[in-house]
Structure 1
Amino acid sequence: MKVLRYSTQIHKWVGLVVGLQVLFWVGGGLVMTAIPIETVRSEHRLKASTPAALPLEQILSLAEVSRLSGVTPVRAELKMTQRGAAWIMTPVEGASVTLDAETGRPFAGMRADEASALAAAAYRGEAALRSAVLLDQAPKETGRDGPIWRVDFDDAERTAFYLSPQTGEVVTRRSAVWRFYDFFWRLHILDFKDGDNFNHPLLIGLTVLTLSMVVTGFILLWIRLARDLKTAGAVRAARRKAAL
């Protein structure tokens, strides 16, 4: 039968093309379901903290901070950080500006010993702190731009805390578990550059091919079942005829 022959050929060659990616999809799915997302995010390594009260009597008004800094914000947030109260102002154009709410000026530069102390205070666990380094440009894995402090801990997951150089806050956490997970996630969506695009042509094309393999598989199954049922019916009819 031509349909059977064509379906078999399509199924075989498409299976060769997409089989490896199907393996990646299944393997990635297993990794993403087996490892709790809280572990991937190193949430178990971050201590719960209670924010300190804002020293309202010492805080400059937004108007005063705007005048001192020369920044006219379209949005402003007053918050308590590990290094004191801060105004975070977003101008019409450009990046947000973080200023000391008590002086209206940028926070003083953070030293390695201060970054280490803040990271250690936020860390949950018994592992020793290995290093604290100020990076001129945040690594791609942080999803951030600009300078950032990286503090590494000597635990089994090789946890790294990334701290804001202005406020000392732990802005993100990464570990060997996160990188292992991220590797399989990129395989899963076939985006090796940014790891966040699952609408690109390569993934769509392979998904279409995989769907065609499933459809031709059902066609093959239907044809073979129909043929087997027909053969079985003929055998039963022959037996009945022979028994008469």
Structure 2
Amino acid sequence: MMKVLRYSTQIHKWIGLVVGVQVLFWVAGGLVMTAIPIETVRSEHRLKQASPSALPVEQVLPLSAVVQSAGIAPSRAELKNTQRGPAWVLTPRDGEPVTLNATTGQPFAAMDANEVTALAKAAYRGNASPQMPVLLDPAPKETGRDGPIWRVDFNDTERTSFYLSPQTGEVVTRRSAVWRFYDFFWRLHILDFKNGDNFNHPLLVGLTVLTLSIVVTGFILLWIRLSRDLKMARAVRAARRKAP
């Protein structure tokens, strides 16, 4: 039993040194994820609820005419109302979706900084002022999108950023200092520093196995020590009973 105790102690100690920092990251990440409401992380409190508006069907070109004009054979087509008017979103079998002005069948005209600022301000809930818009190409990784995108920063306490579609002017995603803080701990939590979405990679699996070994060896050590202490306590009681 002493040999088992010695080996278990060594395994527990050295593996603990290897994974102890990561366990700290897991606990800290879990605390961050449970302490900050996900609605705050997504900046939902900074986005105004859009009032539903009627789609001007009489001004909309039929899908067949738009498809013929665009030369696209879509596998999916969606007609929706946007801040810049009705739009057809055509998704081809291969490639990215194409957004067209539903009243002309052509791509929307490019937006300038003044229009972007007005659209972002109209979608924002709060008293903060928008900063000068910036057209980014390619889109930053934090947006999870491809292609160009407009970014508008607001000088609120969370340093909120709105990312707007250059075609429709819609706020397609929102980011803030809170989101970036949360994302940092999320990446530490899953050990995916590149994309932040893979929690099945070998490094994480390996560290999880090592952490499990610490728990197992810890229970072994606990059982051995409790058994030894129990034997010692019994011996002491027996000695006392024998004493004159």
The normalised TM-score by structure 2 is 0.98
In the alignment, the residues of structure 1 paired with residue 96 and residue 116 of structure 2 have an alpha-carbon distance, to the nearest angstrom, of 23
* Partner of residue 3, structure 1: 4
Q: 1:51-102: CA deviations, max 9, x gaps?
A: 3211111110000111111112111000000000000001122111100000
Tell me by how many angstroms 1:210 deviates.
Answer: 0.4
- Deviation >4 Å, runs of 4+: none
* Partner of residue 52, structure 1: 53
Q: Give the residue type in structure 1 aligned to 2:91.
A: T
**Other structure's SS at 2:243 match:** helix
In the alignment, the residues of structure 2 paired with residue 65 and residue 93 of structure 1 have an alpha-carbon distance, to the nearest angstrom, of 18
* Partner of residue 42, structure 1: 43
Q: Which runs of 5+ in 1 are unaligned?
A: none
**Other structure's SS at 2:55 match:** coil
Q: Give the residue type in structure 2 aligned to 1:121.
A: A
Q: Give the residue type in structure 1 aligned to 2:187.
A: R
Matched pairs, number: 243
* Partner of residue 153, structure 1: 154
* Partner of residue 129, structure 2: 128
Q: How does 1:1-244 map to 2 (within 5 A)?
A: 1-243=2-244
Q: Give the residue type in structure 2 aligned to 1:209.
A: L
In the alignment, the residues of structure 2 paired with residue 57 and residue 129 of structure 1 have an alpha-carbon distance, to the nearest angstrom, of 35
Tell me by how many angstroms 1:50 deviates.
Answer: 1.8
Q: Is the 8 A contact 1:51 1:80 kept in 2?
A: no
**Other structure's SS at 2:109 match:** coil
In the alignment, the residues of structure 2 paired with residue 52 and residue 118 of structure 1 have an alpha-carbon distance, to the nearest angstrom, of 16
Tell me by how many angstroms 1:11 deviates.
Answer: 0.3
Q: Is the 8 A contact 1:40 1:178 kept in 2?
A: yes
Q: RMSD over aligned Cα, in angstroms?
A: 0.6
Identity, in percent, stands at 78
Q: Is the 8 A contact 1:66 1:72 kept in 2?
A: yes
Tell me by how many angstroms 1:187 deviates.
Answer: 0.3
